[in-house]
Amino acid sequence: MKGRVVALGALAGREAAALVVDGRLEDLLVDPPEAAGPRPGAILRGRVGRLVKGQGGVFVDLPGGASGFLRQVRGLAPGQPVLVQVSGHAEPGKAVPLATRLLFKGRHAIVTPGAPGLNVARGLRDAGLRARLTALAEAGMAGSEHGLIVRSACEAADDDEIADEIAALRRLAEAVLADETGAPDLLLDAPAPHEAAWRDWAHPAPDLVDEGADAFDLHGVHDAVAALLRPEVALAAGASAVIEPTRALVAVDVNTGPDTSPAAGLKANLALARDLARQLRLRGLGGQVVIDFAPMPKRDRHVLEQALAAAFRRDGGEATMAGWTPLGLYELTRRRDRLPLSRAVAP
């Protein structure tokens, strides 16, 4: 169907949520298997372990004997308790990535300890609305050293609802920050997919929230997931791409199909560039990405670079465009913020 649909269901027996826009899968959240470790966003009390100065960080002992890695050394000493937030899923055999900048996220606001200031989402441009939300933020955070970000979902919420959530998030942040000492422990778990969908997909408001037993079938989620588990990506006019993760990097190859003209090469390359950020996010892939684009004139490279940069900006993930190699490949890096889909839906 046309419009913005949030479908709530399950994949591989685990809770899952899908965002479908005009019939195309735009986002997918799957509860990871227990062996994958804590969900990104969970807040833990850890204990500083071994310093690794060569890597500019420190290992952190986590609950249950797990190990995390924090890219920070200054101000930390072995044995010291530290509050950390999980910033991504651990790769097999590696430590859980951590951050000391804590975020307490709600549907309408985010409390930011250690980052003072009150900020209203840029997407809310109406001057009257911004003034009203700023007043609510000032009232809710009066006397606090924490910062606050007012989210775009406030556009469709009433003042009492926003004020209540700001107060609740502030109390939660203060309670967690007061619990810094002690053995490693989970202080605040990250939301499961259905709750995360309610929290993060509220703006723009969905046209339909479907929780039916056949919601994933009705909105094509199972078919889309099956396609994402295959390396091939169909592009327009018979062109295609192949996205293959390896131990060292993610390799992407673009093919024009039967038409080998320079114009066909540019058209296929642009189609892949505009969809690559979405493809990587849905597949849960990141790290170093190397793209072998179809042959095209060098004079058109700047058009391709602009399309890539714009797509990754819209996607919102942390990515760096490294540029062209001497062999004509294109390199970029994308932060690993999700579990690979193949692991997330594994039995």
Q: What is the mean pLDDT of the chain?
A: 94
Measure the CA–CA gap between 41 and 236, rounded to whole angstroms: 37
DSSP string, 12-55: TTEEEEEEEETTEEEEEEEPPPGGG-SPTT-EEEEEEEEEEGGG
pLDDT tens column, 82-98: 999 999 888 888 899 99
Q: What is the pLDDT of residue 286?
A: 93
Confidence of residue 17 (pLDDT cuts 50, 70, 90): very high
Stretch 215-238: mean pLDDT, rounded?
Answer: 96
Q: What is the pLDDT of residue 243?
A: 98
Confidence of residue 37 (pLDDT cuts 50, 70, 90): confident
Residue 226 confidence (pLDDT) above 90:
yes
- Stretch among 30-39, 44-53, 185-194, 243-252 having the lowest mean pLDDT: 30-39
| CB contact at 8 A, 150 and 108 | yes
Q: What is the pLDDT of residue 101?
A: 95
Q: What is the pLDDT of residue 35?
A: 76
Model confidence, pTM: 0.92
What angle is formed at CA 85 by the lines to CA 55 and CA 50, rounded to 5 degrees? 35
Q: What is the pLDDT of residue 1?
A: 78
Q: Give the contacts of 221 (CB within 8 A, at least 6 positions apart).
A: 7, 9, 18, 20, 25, 28, 215
CATH number of 36-100: 2.40.50.140
Task: Enter the tokens of residue 65.
Answer: 């004997």
Stretch 62-83: mean pLDDT, rounded?
Answer: 92
Q: What is the pLDDT of residue 165?
A: 98
In 3D space, the residue among 157, 186, 189 whose CA is nearest the CA of residue 46 turns out to be 186
Residue 132 confidence (pLDDT) above 90:
yes
Percent of the chain clearing pLDDT 90 (strictly above): 85
Q: What is the pLDDT of residue 56?
A: 81
Residue 14 confidence (pLDDT) above 90:
yes
Beta strands in the chain (DSSP E): 4-11, 14-21, 24-30, 43-52, 57-61, 67-70, 81-86, 96-99, 104-105, 109-112, 118-120, 147-150, 185-188, 208-210, 232-234, 240-245, 250-255, 287-292, 319-324, 330-334
Measure the CA–CA gap between 12 and 32, rounded to whole angstroms: 10
Q: What is the pLDDT of residue 236?
A: 87
Stretch 143-151: mean pLDDT, rounded?
Answer: 97
Higher pLDDT, 347 or 163: 163
pLDDT tens column, 155-178: 999 999 999 999 999 999 999 999
Q: What is the pLDDT of residue 50?
A: 87
Q: What is the pLDDT of residue 92?
A: 81
Residue 111 confidence (pLDDT) above 80:
yes
Residue 55 confidence (pLDDT) above 80:
no
pLDDT tens column, 279-302: 999 999 999 999 999 999 999 999
Residue 347 confidence (pLDDT) above 90:
no
Q: What is the pLDDT of residue 155?
A: 94
Stretch 124-147: mean pLDDT, rounded?
Answer: 97
In 3D space, the residue among 56, 74, 55, 68 whose CA is nearest the CA of residue 97 turns out to be 68
Residue 54 confidence (pLDDT) above 80:
no
Confidence of residue 225 (pLDDT cuts 50, 70, 90): very high
Stretch 32-38: mean pLDDT, rounded?
Answer: 83
Percent of the chain clearing pLDDT 70 (strictly above): 100
